[in-house]
Amino acid sequence: MVSSSTDDNAITPKAEAPQPHPSRQRDQARANGPAKLADIARETGFSLATVSKVLNDRPGVSPATAKVIRRQLHRAGYRKRVSDESRRERNVEIVFQTFDSMWSLEVLQGALDYTSSHGLSVTVTESGDRQHPDSSWVGGLAERKPLGVVLIFSDLTKTERDTLHLLNIPYVIFDPSGDPTRDSHSISADNWTGGVIATRHLLSLGHTQIGIITGPHEMMASTARLDGFSAAMKSHGLNVDPDWVAEGDFTMRGGYRQAIRLLRDPHHRPTAIFAGSDLQAMGVYEAARQLRLRIPDDLSVVGFDNIQTSAFMNPPLTTVEQPIRRMGSMAVNMLFTAIENTELHQRVIMPTTLVPRMSTRRIG
């Protein structure tokens, strides 16, 4: 007689529910419509950004994590589009609102310095105004699918930022027109210090009657340069004459119009003008010529930017240098940092320095 005993601690495994064949899963996915990336993120337990990286074959995801996500993407019917991805690996888009000056060319040359040494191409887009790209640019971005975007003088809406995020396209704002959000990448010059050193230079030459031609007031660069100008004047016990503060638009034509206004009254005109940009300084030169004022004997002029042509003006222009070409190169480099580390958000401010030439002289 054989006796048997029962182990009370033994656990009988529950039968596992049969799983449908992978091909049947794909058929079900097609029948129910394509799964959203957010659904796949929830099912796999990884973030939407990580799922998007794997879908677009971007770096920064461990092999084990990528394997899990790719399996789920495959089941959901997602497929990598080789032509689009190869294009993304080659192309960077630079968005200018106006591409019409030496300043723009120097930004572009800086970008090319980087892309040419890394086997990349550059697409130049001109779109919108100086503060914001127009809607057609955003709409066409999904088709162009660049590796990344550098926006010049721009400020994006939340909808546009969300669109770039969903398309997994990093962006860097070059000299932002508004205050960048905490999750944005941006590069700009130290505009406030530039305004201070331009003004201090004129003060050191004995000038106390100093006018300024700013850029558009809604642009951060403009307000920062004006604030630096005002701070330097105040530190010398001088008030800023509101009649000698003119709003320009960073163009030669705008500089000319505002200089005519500042200089037309021979009984109430400044002895020096801080032009706010080299292009505006060129407009000041023309206004002085028409009014028969000699630079620097009758009028000292300081610009801002140090574009290549400033050294060849007559007389050569004293200016504040912001390293435009280097900034263009760094902006593209920042795109690659953004690809490698989505958690890092960079806001780079480059130093500005005075470049004294012959357009300023001591008064008296």
Within-domain flag for 6: no
* Predicted confidence (pLDDT) at residue 82 exceeds the cutoff of 50: no
The winner for highest mean pLDDT among 7-21, 117-131, 226-240 is 226-240
The yes-or-no verdict on residue 312 having pLDDT over 80 is: yes
Domain that holds residue 98: 85-188+325-349
Residue 348 phi, psi (nearest 5): -100, 130
Q: Are residues 125 and 203 both part of a single domain? A: no
- Domain for residue 13, yes or no? no
- Residue % of the chain over a pLDDT of 90: 50
Highest mean pLDDT among 86-95, 127-136, 280-289: 280-289
Domain end (from 59, 80, 101): 80
Residue 291 lies in a domain: yes
Residues 179 and 116 in one domain: yes
Mapped to the 3 state alphabet, what secondary structure does 72-124 carry? HHHHCCCCCCHHHHHHHCCEEEEEECCCCCHHHHHHHHHHHHHHHCCCCEEEE
The pLDDT confidence band at residue 140, using thresholds 50, 70 and 90, is confident
Are the CB atoms for 307 and 327 separated by under 8 Å?
no
DSSP-derived pairing of the beta strands 171-174 and 210-214: unpaired
Residues 332 and 236 in one domain: no
**What per-residue confidence (pLDDT) applies to 132?**
59
Q: Is residue 355 domain-resident?
A: no
| Residue 4 scores a pLDDT above 50 | no
**Same domain as 319, residue 195:** yes
Is 315 part of a structural domain of the chain?
Answer: yes
pLDDT tens, 41-76?
Answer: 888 999 888 888 788 766 667 878 888 888 888 788
Residue 185 has pLDDT above 70, yes or no: yes
**Which of 80, 114, 146 lies at the terminal end of a domain, its last residue?**
80
211 with 160, same domain?
no
Which of 64, 80, 96 is at the close of a domain? 80
Residue 243 has pLDDT above 80, yes or no: yes
Asked whether residue 362 is domain-assigned, the answer is no
Q: What Rg value do the Cα atoms of the chain yield, rounded?
A: 29
3-class secondary structure, 151 = strand
Is 327 or 100 the better-scoring residue by pLDDT? 327
Which amino acid, residue 241? D
What does the pLDDT read at residue 113? 93
Question: Is 265 inside any structural domain?
Answer: yes
| CATH number of the domain bearing residue 48 | 1.10.260.40
Give 200's pLDDT tier (boundaries 50, 70, 90).
Answer: very high
Residues 6+ apart with CB under 8 A from 87: 145
Q: Averaged over 229-240, what is the pLDDT?
A: 97
* Residues 153 and 250 grouped into a single domain: no
* Count of structural domains within the chain: 3
Examine the domain organization and report whether 195 and 314 are in the same domain: yes
pLDDT above 70 (res 274): yes
Give the CATH number of the domain where residue 166 resides.
3.40.50.2300
217 & 318 share domain: yes
Say if 1 falls within a structural domain. no
- For tokens 């991805």, name the residue: 85
Tens of pLDDT along 11-36?
333 333 444 444 444 444 444 444 67
Largest separation between any pair of C-alpha atoms in the chain: 129
- Which DSSP state fits 17? P
Position 164 pLDDT exceeds 90: no
Same domain, 195 and 295: yes
Query: What pLDDT was estimated at residue 118?
Result: 83
> Are 219 and 334 found together in one domain?
no
